[in-house]
Chains A and B, each alone.
Chain A
Amino acid sequence: MTTSEVAWQRLDRRTVIVNTLNAAGVCVVAGVPTGIGVGGATSPRLALAIIVPAALLIVGVVALADHLRWHKTRYRVLTDRVELHKGILVRSRRSLSRERIRSVDLTANLLLRFFGLVTVKIGTGEQTGTGTSLALYPVSKAEGERLRTELLDRTPSGTGDGRRNGVLAAIDLGWVRFAPMSFVTPTLGVAAFGAVLQVAEWFGLQEGVITWTIDRMRDLPLVAAILVLVVIGMVVGVIGATGLFVEMWWQYRLEREPGGTLRVRRGLLTSRSISLEERRLRGVELVEPLGNRLVGAARVDAVATGLAKQKESEKTDHKTLLPSAPRHVADRVAAEVLREDVSPTSAVRLRPHPVAARGRRIRWGLACVAAVVAPLLVLGWLLSVEVLLHLAWICAVVLVPVAVVLAIDAYRNLGHGLTGDYLVARSGTVRRGTVALQRRGVIGWTARQSIFQRRKGLLTLTATTAAGTGAYSVHDVGESDGLAFAESAVPDLFGPFLERG
């Protein structure tokens, strides 16, 4: 078949309806508060007379523009490449080589799902440069699936092992209990208060809301009032975190498809399908935020090439293969994903680091406490404000034990080891990460030593890799041990430059 015989295809025509509805929605959301604001200042009729035609104009322009965009966008899949022509004023012609395609991700928000449409994003997994992905917004769901299977279909590699295909993990709604035990909860709680004040401000009611709240709280002592606000914030945060988890992970399934592709499907309102070629996988990271670790839960992230340059907001959810789940599930999924019998993160015998590393962590912890307490002391003393002095010692009494406990925990979590084809490194306390990295995925070593570390005989060893964050570190390992570890993990990198004595 020659190039000219392959027919060009268009996006789904219903994009015009979808985008028109989207624009209408935005107009309503933005127009109503504006209308109330303008109407309050002048007269309701005038407000309607301005805002309704403006909204209709915007919706009309969007509909027309989207129709033009649909008309001007064409794509086709050739035997060796995918081509996309688009652009209303500035025409752009892009072509991706098919053998460089590493991912085909499908997402559909509620509106797209209603019309049976999906957005297709075809990526090449290159770390640098632009023009490494194509987005088709939108095509029909069947067309999306067809593109996905066609573009990711590769002849099964020799390691293809039939019994490991199929569903590797599926959602257990009990996991939702781990969702609120993270930083998401307080963040959402604080954000909720902010949102209430912001909305109140749009309607010019901000002062009213604040006075109303103070009136409710007047009879309570200050401490109780603060507690009530904190509890409300936490409750909102817990509800928010739970809701977020359900939205993100509803109908979650992790599957392995013949041909060596891992596929994550999930989402309540917005459905997502994320594919990851196993060829790109260089290991996994078992992530245990403090709250989850205390109740024995862990999350599994992929360490894969070509994921690093996702947008900041997409980064965590694209690489997550398993949301926070009981530790034994996480271990099993990690093992399945890597096609091992036991996950390297649990098979490994981690070697502890020198005691000097503990002293360093305690000193860092105390320095952080001092950074909080010292300004309070200085200000309190200079300005002779007794409250600040009291605050200073209360902070010190509360924070010093916390800092010391976290420091000791951080030290106990340090470890490194080798098992089979993997090197494993663990560190962190608030977020404990245990990374298992394939030795062949290590493309360089960096050893880093501050003058303080030098005095204690420690160094920080970093394996650089094309995958994940690009570098994974073994923190504060004994100098000689660390170098021996580096050499036995990946021979002949540091080897020729080592000396004994």
Chain B
Amino acid sequence: MSGTSQGEGARLRLRPPRNQVDRRAVAWWRAGILVFWAVPVLVLVVLGILLPGARFWLLAPAVAIMVVIVPLAIGMPLWWYRVHRWEVTDEAVYTRTGAVWQEWRVAPMSRIQTVDTQRGPLEQYFGLATVTVTTASAKGAVKIPGLDHELASDLVRQLTETTHATPGDAT
């Protein structure tokens, strides 16, 4: 290891944010992957049934996709669930997301411009919501996916109140 810390003594690390996302997020992510890949698999299977001549060449990719996707759909959401965490303090919103690439983001209250929630059809089914916090930076948005939707709307209210109370011109 080459990264010995210079000057500060002990090594610095970002601690994980305090809160996990809702447990239902695992099922939501799984459903998302399966729904997304079900479309090409179904098309291939239906064509395979209708076209006996090309059956092997249509069903083989369908099987191949399933062999790859089903383990991913089981495994990846568990990994995401372990990584995805969030925290809101009086000063900032702090998140950790990703899996292979992990990302820690912090946006201070004084720079927050908008706070929104989104709920796609699957999220509605699972009673979840995604909170997006944007700043004046085109690339500075902080997203917290997979929150319980009531918690999410409370969070939006709390964030909106705090940002109104915090001075700053947001750029």
Measured CB to CB, the residues of A under 8 A from B are 127, 305, 308, 354-356, 441, 443-451, 454, 456-458, 462, 464-467, 469-471, 478-481, 483-484, 487, 492-494, 496-501
Q: How far is the CA of A441 from the CA of B168 in the complex (A)?
A: 12
Task: Output the least CB separation between B166 and chain A (Å).
Answer: 13
Q: How far is the CA of A394 from the CA of B2 in the complex (A)?
A: 36
Structural contact, A464 and B139, CB atoms closer than 8 A: yes
Q: Is residue B1 contacting chain A, with contact meaning CB distance below 8 A?
A: yes
Q: Which of B6, B13, B137, B171 contacts A498 (CB 8 A)?
A: B13
Task: Output the least CB separation between B11 and chain A (Å).
Answer: 4
- Chain B residues within 8 Å of A500, by CB: 9-13
Residue of A nearest to B14 (CB): A497
Q: A447-B14, A500-B12 are in contact. Are A355 and B2 (CB under 8 A)?
A: yes
Q: How large is the interface on B (under 10, 10 to 19, 20 to 34, 35 or more residues)?
A: 35 or more
- Chain B residues within 8 Å of A497, by CB: 14-15, 17, 87, 94, 104, 106
- Chain A residues within 8 Å of B142, by CB: 444
Q: How far is the CA of A467 from the CA of B171 in the complex (A)?
A: 8
Structural contact, A457 and B2, CB atoms closer than 8 A: yes
Interface SS of chain B: loop
| Given A448-B104, A484-B5, 20 new contacts (CB under 8 A) | A127-B138, A308-B138, A355-B2, A356-B3, A443-B135, A444-B106, A444-B111, A445-B104, A445-B105, A447-B105, A448-B103, A457-B1, A458-B3, A465-B140, A470-B137, A478-B2, A479-B12, A483-B13, A497-B106, A501-B11
Measured CB to CB, the residues of B under 8 A from A are 1-15, 17, 87, 89, 91-92, 94, 98, 100-108, 111, 135-140, 142, 170-171
Structural contact, B3 and A480, CB atoms closer than 8 A: yes
Structural contact, A443 and B111, CB atoms closer than 8 A: yes
12 A-B pairs with CB atoms under 8 Å apart are A305-B136, A444-B140, A445-B106, A456-B3, A464-B137, A466-B170, A471-B139, A479-B13, A484-B8, A499-B14, A499-B15, A500-B12
Interface SS of chain A: mixed
- Chain B residues within 8 Å of A470, by CB: 137-140
- Chain B residues within 8 Å of A466, by CB: 135-137, 170-171
- Chain A residues within 8 Å of B13, by CB: 479-480, 483, 498-501
Q: How far is the CA of A446 from the CA of B4 in the complex (A)?
A: 22
Q: How far is the CA of A450 from the CA of B83 in the complex (A)?
A: 13
Structural contact, A443 and B2, CB atoms closer than 8 A: no
Q: How far is the CA of A141 from the CA of B149 in the complex (A)?
A: 57
Q: How far is the CA of A465 from the CA of B136 in the complex (A)?
A: 7
Task: Output the least CB separation between B109 and chain A (Å).
Answer: 11
Q: A464-B140, A466-B137 are in contact. Are A494 and B106 (CB under 8 A)?
A: yes
- Chain A residues within 8 Å of B103, by CB: 446-449
- Chain B residues within 8 Å of A499, by CB: 12-15
